[in-house]
Structure 1
Amino acid sequence: MTTPSPVNILLVDDQPENLVALEAILGDLGVNLVKSTSGKEALRCLLQDDFALILLDVQMPQMDGFEVATLIRQRPRSQDTPIIFLTAFSSSEQFMFKGYALGAVDYLIKPIAPNVLLSKVAIFIELFKKTEALRQKTETLQQQAAQLEAINTELQTSEERFRLLSTCSPLGVFVTDTEGRCVYTNPRFQVICGRGPELAPAAPAVPESESASGAVPGQSWLDSVHPDDLAAARSTWAAYLQTGQDYVQEFRLRPRGEIERWASVRSARMVSEQKNFLGYVGTVEDITERKRAEAANAQVIREQAARQEAETANRMKDDFIAVLSHELRTPLNSILGWANLLQAGKLDSQKVEYAIDTIERNALAQKQLIEDILDVSQIVRGKLQLHRLPVNLVAVAQTALETVRPAATAKAIALTTNFHDYDRLEVTGDALRLQQVIWNLLTNAVKFTPEQGRVDVHLSVVTRLPKETLSADPCPENSPEDGGPENGSRAPAYAQLRITDTGLGIAADFLPHIFDRFRQADSSITRSQGGLGLGLAIVHHLVEQHQGCVWAESDGLNQGAAFTVALPLAQSTSPQPPSALDRLPNEPPTRALRGLPILIVEDDTDTRDFLAFLLQTQGAVVTTTASAEEGLRLVDSVQPAVLLCDISMPDMDGYTLIRKIRNQLPAPQANIPAIAITAHARLSDQAQALSNGFQSHLPKPIEAETLVRTILQVTNSVHDLSRPGQN
């Protein structure tokens, strides 16, 4: 039932006491009295509510009653609202006519008799109530008439609608009885399932014995299911008939004489208003195009992911190239700058020493960069090889630590270790590569730790490793199959080296990528630390090659970091041959090559002059040439004790030269000891040099001590290293 509208009376008078008097007179009528002290306020009230009557004072400041009435009549919503003018100043017919002309229903002179005002207002209240009641009744009748017309229209068109829906539906529709036997299908169903119209009414029922055993009754849509999907279709449909839950499945169809298609089958129970179960209604939708689109979209997504991955890799490589350029040019600037100053000869002895130290330090930095790049190149191509021997990890760690200690001392960084707890922790691996791993981690710790910080190096033996790490999988447990103890007689043990620092730390979002190649936490031009960002990638690969694992931990930026390396301990405790580090000869004495004739074949003038000067300071008698052809002639004529030969030379390379010496010259020239001096520093290059006839292979840049030691070794003069009186 509609709630009656409230009866509102608007009282407009600029004198508050008059409004109070009107409210006292009309208060018993049971209506809502809205008071307003100005014409503008009255107009605002009319915007919010409808009023049964307006009592309007004529004489008001700013806007008098006639002006207010004029504006009231201009609004459609209030143009028929009754207005009674109230005035205490003029009863002339001219004002009364003006009021009536504006649509006033009465014109009362103050003071107003209460009984007169009450009677007049009551009439308009009653009239408003009757008008509202009539309006509401009319609206109700109109609504009922519209509803009745809609119902009749719906009843008249329901059958036509069903026919059109069934005939024109883009979905196939089927209806079954309570036993699941099909009793109706629409034309679209027959098209999708490839069933002729003559088969539309129903598929034949299965024998009672088969139905009783739980078999699925024959269904027209099941008859069209692809043979590979038929078993699943029958199973899910049988389960649906038993449970009655909504059925949604997708299957391949193979209608008669048509290509394979996809269909989505849906079904639900039909229940009458009286809650009686009537059967099942279902739809069959051809989703072949959607499946094709999904397959195409999946292919696009895969291609986009591959393209994005390639773009990311290219961007990372571009950033790496930019960093590489910076890292190579920066030390080169110092090298060339101080070299020019030395050449000018204007430096005092102290500055000369400083310049030489600077040039050496930056040249070593460039050498390290190049070695990192070559290592990564071999890692990418799977060519990095290890010389596996028993190695004392304690000695390797101590050597790496002593190499880094000067840099730590320069920054007043405290280095603490517990190496004294162990005399020997033996692992199987490449001593030089393991030293490279530890050196890289220690160098990073010192580089990223501010002055007066702290770096702790902790060695220990553990039998259990973390199941999960932040950046690498846990190490595999040793087992009899992979060389571990048999029958569980001995638990696998690991040498664990943990390096912690109080440095810059690692952001949480970068921590999972800390060992990626070509990835740096900051590759911008404003980065505060140098380096190519390859060291940790090399560390990760080398540790994996040693069947170990490495992981990083950090609580975030400025919270320090910890890197842990775990390597399986060697199982055997029997005496082992000395490691590669143990076999390195001591520093050779000065003038160790006194009187030794040496031939240098090198096309680069600077390198040739450097080698000649270096060997002459050691007492050697040096002959040089830039041509391999000339070198072949000099070997025959000069008969040097050893040959130093470059590999990459024009006209004839070093490999060809050594083959000609071995095959064309007579003894003893054909047996001259030869050392390959080359910028090709890979293990494969070393193997190629040895296989072609060289006795040794030294990659550039060449250290003086290494060169002298190698010459003595290949000339069977290693015993001279300890012979006194050679200087």
Structure 2
Amino acid sequence: MQSESPVNILLVDDQPENLVALEAILGDLGANLVKSTSGEEALRCLLQDDFAVILLDVQMPQMDGFEVATLIRHRQRSRDTPIIFLTAFSSNEQFMFKGYALGAVDYLIKPIAPNILLSKVAIFIELFKKSEALRQKTEMLQQQTQALQQQAAQLEAINTELQTSEERFRLLSACSPLGVFVTDTEGYCVYTNPRFQSICCGSAETQPQQSWLVSVHPDDLAVAHSTWAAYLEDGQDYSQEFRFQSEETAHRWVSIRSARLVSEQKQFLGYVGTVEDITERKLAEAASAQVIREQAARQEAETANRMKDEFIAVLSHELRTPLNSILGWSHLLRSRNLDPQKIDYAISTIERNAITQKQLIEDILDVSQIVRGKLQLHCQPLDLAAIAQTALETVRPSAEAKAIALVDNLQDTARLEIVGDALRLQQVVWNLLTNAIKFTPQQGRVDLHLTVVADLAHAPVSPPPPYAPGYAQLQIRDTGMGIAADFLPHIFDRFRQADSSTTRAQGGLGLGLAIVYHLVEQHQGYVWADSPGPNQGTTFTVALPLVPVTAAAAPSSSLRDNPVGVAPRALADMSILIVEDDTDTREYLAFLLQSQGAIVTTAATAEEGLELLGATQPALLLCDISMPDMDGYTLIQKIRAELPAPQAQIPAIAITAHARLSDQTEALANGFQQHLPKPVEPEVLLQTVLRVTGTTA
């Protein structure tokens, strides 16, 4: 039997030694003695607990015992708590009368006789215990009475509910918009409502044991059986959508839901589930999805058309602008009214703008190959520092023209061994440097730094390939215009520019960075851009996987060396046949070669060239590829197969506007010794002629 809790006795005295004395006297009563040194503290104690008796000192500072007693009696909870006043003023009857008037049960004079105090307090403790027991019994009787009344009300409600439950269930079952089924613990149906039978194409006479599985469309039946079997095994809530066979249409969509059926005593009784026809919802979802797809396609098409229109407008501008200078200065040169200085300036301007057009065309061709997946690389071991140095020297004049400081660490960088296409990687670095110089104002700064990093864990790129022992990281940082945060994700998109309006400050087609991204990606590398914002500069980072030093072979540079100067009349008395259908190109090539002493014969068609070659014995053939009636490939094949020696073995150079790597491969495979893309630089052509013919310059 659990022992009863000790009663509380409140001791109130401003002298701690008096409290200790009281505690010593009353300690054997087994009560919980709560001590308080002020009236305020005593009142706080009364807010928390009930007390069998209060021993209250009369003389206390701030609030005396009478004031405390008055406040105690004003509180409903402590109104009847016995109070014994303790005082040292034994001769003052006024205090005694005042104490009794406030409801005190006793008035003891200090010093207090311990046995008297002990007996008086013991009596109040006993009275408190009996009062508490009586109160508890009264509360218990009240609770029992209330419980009986509640039980009676509940029984009456249950009886009423039992009378109506059968009718309610019948109405719910008959009128429910959902099909309802109940199964036993093995999953066999023991009840189905009319809506279930309607959805499952049954009738009122359909046996309840027939499961919804018998109505599932054959194409969904295997999935339905497997998911239902798994549900019966693990007991989790079931929710699936299947097609049901239908007499009216090809099929109808149905949602099946089920849960375990458990009694109030936690006994597993089986499963309860619903079957809902969701055909209309599925049709609406399909229609909505179609609308969304059409809207997305329309928006994508509109965006593509807008970008195409912007690109065409930019392309027109970028092509017409240099043409304006070329045609304008050409017209002025024809007038022959220019002084020698202006003539040199005009020729320089024409050449510079022609080079600009050439770069635009090469960018467009590169993007075309990228889109068709035809861009090929000639990969071999390379030194990235050497490639960066070459690109840096190429753009240095452009930087000096704008007083832009070029800062690099290439002289302090050891060889960084990578595998790649030297020309294409030089194109990457050149594009990024050119871009940085273009968007950096006068007297700005462009930094190029090469470093080695172990991984790309902190870079905003996809996870690096596991085979890379490290990365050569090239960073190009400028102090230019910067890039807005909302445009950074599109910086490498084709045909996208931050400003494509007619008021834009910089030119270009917006293809350079797209080409850079693809070339770096083709080298198994990564490239990304960072910018704090507009007018705060931009940093482009290229990371290319390094190769182990032991695996790297000695590099054979595939960079196109600058041709050495060709001596005057280096082609003296060399017989050359030119086959070219374009008159201007044909006359330009003839004039160039004749100026070097060559004896040139020209043909406008492949048939004419074949006849001339059969009648003469030139030392070299320069041949275009795209020509009417017979192209250059067919011509060289006929020469190699049909003509007698020595004409059949004539050295041949293909000069063509087909500048792709695949075009070069095809030219060599068909019998040409060299392939030169148009426009052809004079010194490159002369060096190639000397090399193919084995002539020393």
TM score, norm. by length of structure 2: 0.68
Counterpart AA for 2:464: C
Counterpart AA for 1:229: A
Report the counterpart of residue 305 of structure 1 in structure 2. 296
Given that residues 172 and 186 in structure 1 are in contact (C-alpha distance below 8 angstroms), is that contact kept between their aligned partners in structure 2? yes
Provide structure 2 residue ranges, at least 5 long, that are not aligned to the other structure: 1-163
Given that residues 426 and 569 in structure 1 are in contact (C-alpha distance below 8 angstroms), is that contact kept between their aligned partners in structure 2? yes
Equivalences for 1:576-595 in 2 at 5 Å? 576-581=554-559, 585-595=563-573
What SS does structure 2 have at the residue aligned with 1:408? helix
Report the counterpart of residue 66 of structure 1 in structure 2. none
Report the counterpart of residue 133 of structure 1 in structure 2. none
Counterpart AA for 2:541: T
How many Å apart are 1:569 and its aligned residue? 2.1
Report the counterpart of residue 172 of structure 1 in structure 2. 179
Q: Equivalent of 1:228, from 223, 230, 235?
A: 223
Report the counterpart of residue 43 of structure 1 in structure 2. none
Report the counterpart of residue 462 of structure 1 in structure 2. 453
How many Å apart are 1:544 and its aligned residue? 1.7
Given that residues 614 and 704 in structure 1 are in contact (C-alpha distance below 8 angstroms), is that contact kept between their aligned partners in structure 2? yes
Q: Does 1:605 pair with 2:583?
A: yes
Distance 2:269 2:631 in 1: 95
Report the counterpart of residue 19 of structure 2 in structure 1. none
Q: Does 1:420 pair with 2:411?
A: yes
Q: Does 1:547 pair with 2:524?
A: yes
Counterpart AA for 1:187: P
Could you report, residue by residue, the CA deviation over 1:655-676 in whole angstroms, capped at 9, with x for unpaired residues?
3333333334332233222211
- Give the paired residue count: 528
Q: Does 1:702 pair with 2:680?
A: yes
Equivalences for 1:688-727 in 2 at 5 Å? 688-717=666-695, 720-721=696-697
Equivalences for 1:192-231 in 2 at 5 Å? 192-199=199-206, 203=209, 221=212, 226=221, 228-231=223-226
How many Å apart are 1:581 and its aligned residue? 2.5
Report the counterpart of residue 485 of structure 2 in structure 1. 508
Report the counterpart of residue 198 of structure 2 in structure 1. 191
Distance 2:297 2:280 in 1: 25
Report the counterpart of residue 336 of structure 2 in structure 1. 345
TM score, norm. by length of structure 1: 0.65
Q: Structure 1 residues 176, 292: CA separation in 2 closer, same or farther (over 3 Å shift)?
A: same
Q: Structure 1 residues 391, 279: CA separation in 2 closer, same or farther (over 3 Å shift)?
A: closer
Provide structure 1 residue ranges, at least 5 long, that are not aligned to the other structure: 1-156, 204-218, 479-483, 485-491, 722-727
Report the counterpart of residue 400 of structure 1 in structure 2. 391
Report the counterpart of residue 379 of structure 1 in structure 2. 370
Could you report, residue by residue, the CA deviation over 1:641-664 in whole angstroms, capped at 9, with x for unpaired residues?
212222223343323333333334
Counterpart AA for 1:686: Q
Distance 1:280 1:576 in 2: 76
Given that residues 195 and 220 in structure 1 are in contact (C-alpha distance below 8 angstroms), is that contact kept between their aligned partners in structure 2? no
Q: Structure 1 residues 396, 563: CA separation in 2 closer, same or farther (over 3 Å shift)?
A: same
Q: Equivalent of 2:600, from 622, 640, 648?
A: 622
Given that residues 417 and 549 in structure 2 are in contact (C-alpha distance below 8 angstroms), is that contact kept between their aligned partners in structure 1? no
Report the counterpart of residue 664 of structure 2 in structure 1. 686
Distance 1:504 1:316 in 2: 23
Q: Does 1:493 pair with 2:470?
A: yes
Given that residues 177 and 195 in structure 2 are in contact (C-alpha distance below 8 angstroms), is that contact kept between their aligned partners in structure 1? yes
Q: Structure 1 residues 197, 516: CA separation in 2 closer, same or farther (over 3 Å shift)?
A: same
Given that residues 467 and 474 in structure 1 are in contact (C-alpha distance below 8 angstroms), is that contact kept between their aligned partners in structure 2? no
Counterpart AA for 1:518: F
Counterpart AA for 2:285: E
What SS does structure 1 have at the residue aligned with 2:378? coil
Q: Structure 1 residues 185, 520: CA separation in 2 closer, same or farther (over 3 Å shift)?
A: same
Q: Does 1:527 pair with 2:518?
A: no
Report the counterpart of residue 262 of structure 1 in structure 2. 253
How many Å apart are 1:498 and its aligned residue? 0.7
Q: Structure 1 residues 187, 633: CA separation in 2 closer, same or farther (over 3 Å shift)?
A: closer
Counterpart AA for 1:599: L
Distance 1:267 1:359 in 2: 81
Counterpart AA for 2:239: Q
Could you report, residue by residue, the CA deviation over 1:13-59 in whole angstroms, capped at 9, with x for unpaired residues?
xxxxxxxxxxxxxxxxxxxxxxxxxxxxxxxxxxxxxxxxxxxxxxx
How many Å apart are 1:435 and its aligned residue? 0.6
Q: Does 1:640 pair with 2:629?
A: no
Report the counterpart of residue 71 of structure 2 in structure 1. none
Distance 1:668 1:231 in 2: 80
Q: Structure 1 residues 527, 168: CA separation in 2 closer, same or farther (over 3 Å shift)?
A: same
Spell out structure 1 runs of 4+ moving beyond 6 A: 157-165, 175-184, 237-240, 255-259, 267-272, 277-282
Distance 1:407 1:337 in 2: 24
Q: Equivalent of 2:439, from 448, 464, 475?
A: 448
Given that residues 578 and 621 in structure 2 are in contact (C-alpha distance below 8 angstroms), is that contact kept between their aligned partners in structure 1? yes
Counterpart AA for 2:486: D
How many Å apart are 1:521 and its aligned residue? 1.9
What SS does structure 2 have at the residue aligned with 1:198? coil
Could you report, residue by residue, the CA deviation over 1:414-451 in whole angstroms, capped at 9, with x for unpaired residues?
11000011242222221111111110110111111111
Report the counterpart of residue 391 of structure 1 in structure 2. 382
Q: Structure 1 residues 178, 451: CA separation in 2 closer, same or farther (over 3 Å shift)?
A: same
Could you report, residue by residue, the CA deviation over 1:62-119 in whole angstroms, capped at 9, with x for unpaired residues?
xxxxxxxxxxxxxxxxxxxxxxxxxxxxxxxxxxxxxxxxxxxxxxxxxxxxxxxxxx
Given that residues 419 and 459 in structure 1 are in contact (C-alpha distance below 8 angstroms), is that contact kept between their aligned partners in structure 2? yes
Q: Structure 1 residues 410, 474: CA separation in 2 closer, same or farther (over 3 Å shift)?
A: farther
How many Å apart are 1:461 and its aligned residue? 1.5
Distance 1:174 1:641 in 2: 96
What SS does structure 2 have at the residue aligned with 1:643? strand
Percent identity reads: 70
Q: Equivalent of 2:427, from 424, 436, 443?
A: 436
What SS does structure 2 have at the residue aligned with 1:396? helix
How many Å apart are 1:552 and its aligned residue? 1.4
Given that residues 364 and 511 in structure 2 are in contact (C-alpha distance below 8 angstroms), is that contact kept between their aligned partners in structure 1? yes
Q: Does 1:369 pair with 2:360?
A: yes
